[in-house]
Amino acid sequence: MKANQKKFILGLLILILGINNLIGQSEDHCGTDENLKRLKTLDPKLEQKMADYEVQIQEWIANHPNLRTSQSPTITVPVVLHIVYKNATENISTTICNQIITVLNQDYGRTNSDTNQTPAVWKSISANTGVQFCLAQRDPSGAPTTGIERRSTTIANFTTDDKVKFFAQGGLDAWDVSRYFNIWICDLTPGLGGYGEFPTGSLSNTYGQVSDYAVVGTGQWVCTHECGHCFNLRHIWGDDSGACTGSDLVADTPNQANNSPGTCPTYPALDACTTVAPGIMFMNYMDYGGNSCKNMLTNGQSARINAVLGSAPYISLATSSGCMPVVLMANDAGNPSIIRPNGLVCSTSFTPVVQLRNWGTNTLTTVNINYKIDSNPITTFSWTGSVGSLTIINVTLPTMTTTAGSHTFKCYTTIPNSTTDPNNANDTAYSSFNVIPLGQPLPFSYGFEPTTFPPTGWTLYNPDAAVTLARTTGAAKTGVASMWFNSINYTCNGCIDEITLPNLDLTTMSSPLMTFQVAYRLLSDPTQPTAWSDTLRVLISTDCGITWNQIYNKFSSALTTIIPAFSTTPFVPTAPDWRLETINLAPYATSANAILKFRTVSDYENNLYIDDINIMASTGIKNIGKTETLIVYPNPSTGNVNLYSNSVKAQKIVVINSLGERVKEFVLEFGSNQLDLSDLSDGFYFLNGQNESGITTSKLILNKEK
């Protein structure tokens, strides 16, 4: 077996087994392994994903044997620097930001003045990777940018928990990771210089690297090192702490026992794994050690970098237009989006609202906004006002009338500031919308048995085009299918996905009630200080989606339906693992056009399932005392009866037949309960509820032939 093959197989086995030894000590160490351990606790399949991706990388390298490892720059990656600071010192200057890019370009292009210090024995394998970096010239919306954004935070310092990557947690959200390489600069905990996120074959919303503000700029190699991790380079010593069995999965780097110390060794430097000259490659950027002796990456490392940027999904960084400057004209108006009509419209008469953006350098004072529905004639609205360069405003257009059904709305701008628009590429926007002036009557029932998903008349919202709500035949409360959220394979924290039901006329039944079956299990222990959980919410709108009211919200132990509440095994529920949920829609019973939607908020936990959605009249409602309610449904019933009580006290329920005989007794707890009466004969029954607040009687009709 060839030495490089053995090195690859050994390293791959270590990766699959998940051997993560403590990284060597240094004044400012790399926290990439610590971050990797944390990500593995969130995703039990992460090791396998990385192993599978490693196979893909090796195949790419094998299929590109003529890759030029010493080449002029061919790939330019757009970078956005997120500066998160608590004080002025941490708010690094624009000069230092530019130095970060310069250092990256010198290190990855091998144009540093100290490359002459590379030992002669390794100069032939020292690589210009062909990768360069630029501060982004255009932001995700296409507007000019410096590629630098700043935020003052109250967080004293950050660690490897990725909080710096989320605005809601004191940091800054990533720009589109498929188009920009994100670098966060902040105050990290003492002793932590930075960390990167390894590629796994699928883009995550945290992909990028973090560096401490004090170790970036001229003469610093931390950003180069952490970027290396993001492009699939491992520590040169293989993270085996002296065992000499680890591997960085690169054939042309010497075996090394451990990381180099904070000062530069004298060449040749020998250790227990490489005992003869030329020794270890302590001048490699993927080692530790002093700044003054770092000056090289190898051809093998360059091949791994190019394999990442040359294949899906990270190739989009190499083809991104983020480095392309935006050329602004003097007078240029654009219509970047249509707010209304878009999606659902609940009336045949509506008022369009569009966004108008001034892409020109001059203040925009006049522009024509042209719009139409389907193939109808164009209507022109002459707008006047004052909009500064690159500023966006909302413009309300005159009310329009159309018919029920599906339509297309087109809008475009002309004649900005009474001149010809020199750039027509940003003028036009389209939207599709569906007019439903009246919701469908109740009852409503859906169990996900049809194969079409989303079902006809439903709307799926999946903004990141990643894991989302879907139909599955892997589990069901009834039938063979249900709707699920595959969170255990969704590497995202805080991402929202939604599915909206068809419009419903809640006035067609008195006291409407919504029920559905849910099954959920956590991935991590909810009793630990750091507790994660996906969240399930149900929302309702009675004004066509302009405003929403939350009517159901559960997470963690309140959402779980099985004991124990967590498991690292992907959750697939069996019959006892489902729970019936009940939502009283009586407060919205006057709405003839109500919209309901399920919302999932991901926290990278375990799988969630939903089945048997029903919206019906809640007959058999009785007041218990002044505030307590007992609901019996469906009524008539085929034998499987649902009962709901908002009483905090348990009730004794006695089932009495038409002859006055007690045929069953049970205890009704707070919330939703299920009762199997299928063993009783068809006919009339009375359900007597008793507790300290009093007695109530509800009539139930059994009709098993229904």
* 609, containing H or E segment: strand 608-617
The tokens for 240 are 């085996």
**β-strands 209-212, 181-186: how paired?**
parallel
Interatomic CA distance for residues 546 and 674, integer angstroms: 36
In 209-278, where do the E strands start and end? 209-212
Minimal CA–CA distance to 153: which of 199, 87, 104?
Answer: 87
CB 165 within 8 A of CB 204: no
Interatomic CA distance for residues 604 and 601, integer angstroms: 9
Interatomic CA distance for residues 188 and 475, integer angstroms: 44
DSSP-derived 3-state class of residue 556: helix
Q: Dmax of the chain from CA atoms?
A: 103
The DSSP line for 289-358 is: S-GGG--B-BHHHHHHHHHHHTSTTTHHHHS-STTSPP---SS-EEEEEEEESSEEE-SSEE--EEEEEE
111-118 contacts, C-beta under 8 A, 24 or more apart: 112/295, 114/292, 114/295, 115/295, 115/296, 117/283, 117/293, 117/295, 118/283, 118/295, 118/296
End-to-end CA, the chain: 72
**Out of 54, 226, 581, 628, which one is annotated catalytic?**
226
Minimal CA–CA distance to 618: which of 650, 641, 590?
Answer: 641
- Which whole-number Å values give the CA distances from 216 to 28, 82, 173, 287, in the listed order? 12, 13, 21, 17
Minimal CA–CA distance to 214: which of 312, 111, 49, 96?
Answer: 96
Q: From the CB of residue 587, how many other CB atoms can be counted at a distance below 10 Å?
A: 13
CA dihedral sign, ordered 649, 650, 655, 656: negative
Interatomic CA distance for residues 165 and 174, integer angstroms: 6
Interatomic CA distance for residues 57 and 394, integer angstroms: 47
Interatomic CA distance for residues 177 and 181, integer angstroms: 6
CB 136 within 8 A of CB 147: yes
Interatomic CA distance for residues 83 and 164, integer angstroms: 10
226 is catalytic: yes
How many CA atoms are closer than 13 Å to the CA of 49, on its beta-carbon side?
18
The tokens for 669 are 């707890």
In 379-511, where do the E strands start and end? 379-387, 392-396, 400-401, 405-414, 428-435, 440-441, 444-446, 459-461, 469-472, 482-485, 493-500, 504-505
DSSP-derived 3-state class of residue 230: helix
How many CA atoms are closer than 13 Å to the CA of 173, on its beta-carbon side?
9
Burial annotation 563-572 (CB, 10 A radius, 16+ → b, else e): eebbeeebbe
The DSSP line for 657-699 is: ETTS-EEEEEEEPSEEEEEE-TTSPSEEEEEEEEETTEEEEEE
The strand pairing partners of 485, in sequence order, are: 469, 608
In single-letter form, the type of residue at position 497 comes to D
Residue 32 DSSP class: H
Residue 77 DSSP class: E
In single-letter form, the type of residue at position 201 comes to G
Residue 175 DSSP class: P
Q: Kindly report the backbone phi and psi dihedral angles of residue 629, in degrees, each rounded to the nearest multiple of 5, phi listed first.
A: -130, 140
DSSP-derived 3-state class of residue 528: coil
**Catalytic residue numbers?**
226
